[in-house]
Structure 1
Amino acid sequence: MKLSNTLIVGNIISLLSTVIKADQCTFSGGNYYCSETDAIIYSNVGLSSSYQDVTNMDESTCQCSQQSTSFSGNLSPFNEELSVHFRGPINLKQFGVYYPAASSSSSNLKKRDNNDANEKECTTTKNHQHRHKRDVAVEVVEVTATVFVNAKGESVTPVGNINVAETFPTTTAAAEAAPEADNEIVSSYIKVSTILSSKVQPQEEEQTTTSTSTSKSTKSTSTSVSAPVAGAWERASYFTPGSTSNCTFMNHQGGTAGSGTWSQCFGNSISFANSDGITGCSSATPLDDVTVASGKEFIIFSGDSCDGSNDGCGYYRDGIPAYHGFGGDHKIFVFEFLMPSDTSGSAMNQDMPAVWLLNAKIPRTLQYGDASCSCWETGCGEMDLFEILTAGSDKLISHVHDGQDGGTQDYFTRPTETSLKVAVIFNGNDNTIHIVEVSEDFDDVLSEDTVNSWLNQAGSAAALP
């Protein structure tokens, strides 16, 4: 999650083809919400483009240097290493990462057990921080490259060599006026209005989406989908409260408790997180069975540390505990979590939990702060898996932010009392990412049949009338 005044709005024409009519949706807290869903499929993911990669952070001048970095390939840039981010209120019960058996992505991650790390005492000092299966319903979202629009509704030049099919004169004024009428074109503006209004919340850049949707009461038509590779999937990383294997928990408490750093220029870096997820620690420590409070954030990297050479980590800030993320064309993230209500404080993003993925280069330089000190603004990749947009909402929205864009006003129901188990499947063969509610156990090995069943659960969708 980053705050940004940059708005990226897509080709309105493409929204007209399958957009949900306004009278089927509910307007709440500045956003439209449509149908509850069990699965979201992002299709057409991946493009050839470039982003501005950080090459230096100068403490003497408080400036960062960047250079253009090209990317391409299936799912790019989400085939690059990703870090996994959480914002409270959240209680994480399980987390895991799977790769196809005997794959290079799996073998390159060193199996490092942090189980005994929590035996070390952690102290803190002053913080300088700036700041059950159900009937399946599926949302299918096609992501495409689109027109970039700033906060004034003016078209701006996109970063890199993104192909923009056509420009459509969309403005915030038109989007805000749209709910007054009720024709098909206005429905598309309502969709865009949702995108624009959500920018006031801690969400990011937008572009175009084409989507089809089914409500939970709609009978869907099944089509067969196969796993991206044949055979089993091996668990490369795993967490349960108090225990980790090949996972490293971090937060933004650098310079406060023996890890990371702080400076007048760039504030707190990332640091090892204590077992509460909130304070810092001097060494890698598993998260306990705790509910992390509203507005507090923690991150999971792999257990494989960056070695300072050309090992895929890129440039990272001096003095931080730098670890690899989770890369590859084919990978599966699994989660089990609760998001109970927390209205006890007045933190920024109070009672607005979220789970999202970032290009792992972003937190290793500067996740929050000067845009030139991170590749985020130039499209190196963020995927919001589950995000509450307004305080106290029970609707978790998903969205993609990079040189492409896709999202939906359909939602998963926030798990306030019973935990939600989900799998996020990256399929580099057909350029899709599936977010699927599941009920199976997250064992050491996932069978091909299990993965196929998840993909086919997310592969059922009914066309809108």
Structure 2
Amino acid sequence: MKQTLLFAVFSLPFVFGKTAGELCRGTAALSKDGNWYCSEVWAITYRNISQAGTYNRTTHIDPRTGLCGHERIDYPGTGPLTPLFGEVSMHLRGPMNVSQLAVYQLPSETQTMQKRDTVPFYNRQSTLKQRDRSNDTNVSSEQPQSFSAHDASLLNQGTGDTNTSCSRLTVTSTITVTDCKTSSTTKPLPNTMSICPPLTCVPTPEPLTTSNDTSSPISYCTCTNPASVVQPFEQQAQVVATSAPIPNSNVLFKRDDFHAAAARWSRVAYYTSSAAAQATGFSFLANLGDPQKSGTFDYAFGNSLGYVTPDGGRVASESLPFDGTLETSEREIAVFSDKECDHDCPYWRPDAISHYGWSGSSKAFIIEFQMDHYQNRGTDQGLISDAPAWWFLNAAIPRILQYGNDRNNIPCSCWSTGCGEFDAFEVLGNGEERAKSTIHRQGNLQGGDSNYFKRPVGGKMKFAVVWHYPHITALVLDDDFDFGTDLSNEQVQRLVRYDEDSWVHSLFAIGD
């Protein structure tokens, strides 16, 4: 999450119900400068986040040269490549005490995850040793492999086979590097989809070269046509919880959608601080990678994701349960599922700890937390102090590089080109007690509602973020809300229902 103050007013259409501006004018006082300031609300719905667009996906990272390579992704309005409908990771920044945390999904969107191997707490090392022995005796092009700096250098060399036309290649077996005029097949690149046909890559910032390096920057820019990989997901897109009166949503139901609407949302992950070791479905990581314990470190890109100790402060050698406390804003953790990445996972940073996030257009994240005031303890960290936050990223971002650019000052992850972030509950200033929400998708429709949630100081709050295609709703829950093993679709509908006469539920229109 970029710790940037975003108070800009976006010129997006506010045409349904009471707009964010109307909510401000109706519930806040007029200031001396003649402006109306926004008010506390209990719910914010981001209406219709389903639009097509483009971003640059990372194809490789070379710590020897300090460079990253990318390929252009064109995505439809929904699918595994679509920002925020694809995989997301969850992120927490202190000061914060987390009492409960849960993830819910429709059964049809959890089947793939349920088939993946789970590495429970405390026995990961023995499991990985067994897996390594199995991989040593059964090596194939479909298995993930470590990707060295030498492998990355081969991207410039290729095999000498150059093509002016493009044919469909086997996913994960080959990568085609192109200058968008010709293409050449190269050494197999693990965890990366093949690309076809050549397209122009999404613009990125101008490369910067150092004074002692006058050579032309290396361009690792490739392009992809996602049509062959997004179609299955589009057929699975679930339309649920849309009975809320959000006018003119233009959502068409298919026959299968009626069955989906009657389904119960299953709890696929649950954490409680009262019995943290028994929490299931989660892995807790941070950008503290250490090759001696978990994850990796190099001087080009710094620390990768690695497992962390229960307090989130130090790297750990295996997956451990969270103790529920992030003492200051200097403590930040990433929360993924307990499913380790395999050959179906997009490319991730070599030697990093990589787990699956949660994908789909129907998913709910529910938390119980408290955010009391505590200042940072460090002296020169350059971090904002006493500013807790809860947010979601396209899971590819932290698996690559959450913060930082490559040697040419080109962002290494897909964040800057718009692969997606949703700030659900973000305090933006030191000691501030208002939490904002924002959708970041550079190059696509994005924005943040001007109203805010009240920071829970001195007491706990239950809070939810619900994806209900094609919308996202963030809302404060009743104190007696139960983190049960499932949610009925009727419960979800009640949570996200929008009343155009409500003064505490704001509607922010992203798309028409």
Alignment TM-score, normalising by the size of structure 2: 0.63
CA distance in 1, matches of 2:388, 2:467: 23
Give me the identity figure in percent: 31
Q: Which residue does the alignment assign to 1:194? A: none
Deviation per CA, 1:51-95: give whole Å up to 9, x if none: 001111111110101110121233831111000011110111111
How many pairs does the alignment contain? 357
Deviates more, 1:271-280 or 1:284-293: 284-293
Q: Which residue does the alignment assign to 1:78? A: 84
Deviation per CA, 1:109-156: give whole Å up to 9, x if none: 447474546999xxxxxxxxxxxxxxxxxxxxxxxxxxxxxxxxxxxx
CA distance in 1, matches of 2:9, 2:331: 30
Describe the SS at the equivalent of 2:267: strand
Alignment of 1:82-161 (within 5 A): 82-100=88-106, 102-109=107-114, 110=116, 112=118, 114-116=120-122
Would the alpha carbon gap of residues 79 and 27 (structure 1) be closer, same or farther in structure 2, given more than 3 Å must change? Answer: farther
Amino acid at match of 1:330: S
CA distance in 2, matches of 1:47, 1:254: 35
Describe the SS at the equivalent of 2:466: strand
CA distance in 2, matches of 1:452, 1:11: 29
Q: Paired residue for 2:476, among 414, 425, 437?
A: 437
**8 A contact 2:109–2:359 mirrored in 1:** no
Q: Which residue does the alignment assign to 1:11? A: 11
Amino acid at match of 1:2: K
TM-superposed deviation, 1:446:
1.3
**8 A contact 1:33–1:411 mirrored in 2:** no
1:319 pairs with 2:351: yes
**8 A contact 2:93–2:326 mirrored in 1:** no
Q: Paired residue for 1:43, among 21, 40, 47?
A: 47
TM-superposed deviation, 1:327:
0.4
**8 A contact 2:3–2:428 mirrored in 1:** no
Would the alpha carbon gap of residues 289 and 257 (structure 1) be closer, same or farther in structure 2, given more than 3 Å must change? Answer: farther
Describe the SS at the equivalent of 1:335: strand
Would the alpha carbon gap of residues 251 and 229 (structure 1) be closer, same or farther in structure 2, given more than 3 Å must change? Answer: same
Q: Which residue does the alignment assign to 1:267? A: 302
Alignment of 1:322-341 (within 5 A): 322-341=354-373
1:301 pairs with 2:354: no
Q: Which residue does the alignment assign to 2:293? A: 258
Would the alpha carbon gap of residues 25 and 377 (structure 1) be closer, same or farther in structure 2, given more than 3 Å must change? Answer: farther
CA distance in 2, matches of 1:40, 1:246: 28
CA distance in 2, matches of 1:26, 1:272: 49
Aligned-pair Cα RMSD in Å: 3.4
Deviation per CA, 1:233-291: give whole Å up to 9, x if none: 11111111223211110001111760011101000111111111121101111101324
**8 A contact 1:26–1:34 mirrored in 2:** no
**8 A contact 1:106–1:236 mirrored in 2:** no
Describe the SS at the equivalent of 1:453: helix
**8 A contact 2:43–2:473 mirrored in 1:** yes
TM-superposed deviation, 1:406:
2.5
| Higher-Rg member (1/2) | 2
Q: Which residue does the alignment assign to 1:451? A: 492
Amino acid at match of 1:57: I
**8 A contact 1:54–1:67 mirrored in 2:** yes
Unaligned runs of 5+ in 1: 121-158, 162-221
Describe the SS at the equivalent of 1:404: coil
Amino acid at match of 2:482: D
Q: Which residue does the alignment assign to 1:420? A: 461
Would the alpha carbon gap of residues 89 and 106 (structure 1) be closer, same or farther in structure 2, given more than 3 Å must change? Answer: farther
Deviates more, 1:107-116 or 1:417-426: 107-116
Would the alpha carbon gap of residues 17 and 248 (structure 1) be closer, same or farther in structure 2, given more than 3 Å must change? Answer: closer
**8 A contact 1:46–1:78 mirrored in 2:** no
Alignment of 1:350-429 (within 5 A): 350-370=385-405, 371-402=410-441, 403-428=444-469
Q: Paired residue for 1:55, among 59, 80, 103?
A: 59
The structure where strand makes up a greater share of residues is 1
Deviation per CA, 1:299-318: give whole Å up to 9, x if none: 100111111x2x1x211111
CA distance in 2, matches of 1:27, 1:111: 57
**8 A contact 1:56–1:65 mirrored in 2:** yes
Amino acid at match of 1:410: N
Alignment TM-score, normalising by the size of structure 1: 0.69
**8 A contact 1:111–1:245 mirrored in 2:** no
1:281 pairs with 2:316: yes
